[in-house]
Amino acid sequence: MKTRRFSRDRVELELTPLIDVLFMLLVFFVLTATFMNGQIPVDLPSGHGAKPPGDPLILSIDAEGKCIVQGKEVSPDEAVDMAGKAVSCGRTVIIAGDRSASYGGITTFLDRLRSAGVESVGLLVEDGGSP
C-alpha cells in the first residue's frame, strides 16, 4: 500500500535586508566611536589666534589637572616625553587647557616642557569673534 506524503511549503526567510540593516548599524557605531574618541570635554578660554601649521600634538589638561593625549589619559611625565618626541620630529606642541584648570598647574606643566627641551608651545583657545 502506498502512503501519501504531504508536501509542505517551505518557508524561506529573506536574509538580505536583515544583513543590510546589520551592516548599516555596524558602520554607524564604528563611525560614532571613531568621532567620539577624539573629543575631550575641555572648556577652552576664548581668544584669537592663527591655526598651527602641519599636524600639531595637542596635550589636553582638564579641570582636574589630568593630561590627555590623543584620547588617552597619560601621566605628566609621559606627556612631556611625547611632546619632546613630537618636537624632534618637527611637530608643533599645543596645550588645550580647560578654562577652570588651575593657572599654577598649567604653568608647572609648561615649566616641565621647557626643562625637557620643548621651547615653543602654543595654547589652544576658542575663537572669540572679531577683536
Highest CATH level, class, for 46-127: alpha beta
Type of residue at 76: P
pLDDT band for position 25 (cuts 50, 70, 90) = very high
For 81-109, write each residue's pLDDT tens digit. Answer: 999 888 888 888 888 888 888 888 888 88
C-alpha cell at 78: 609621559
Nearest-angstrom CA–CA distance, 79 and 49: 24
Render pLDDT for 37-64 as a digit per residue (tens, 0 to 9).
555 666 666 777 677 777 888 888 888 8
Q: Where are the domains of the chain?
A: 46-127
Angle between the 76-88 and 103-115 helix axes, to the nearest 10 degrees? 50
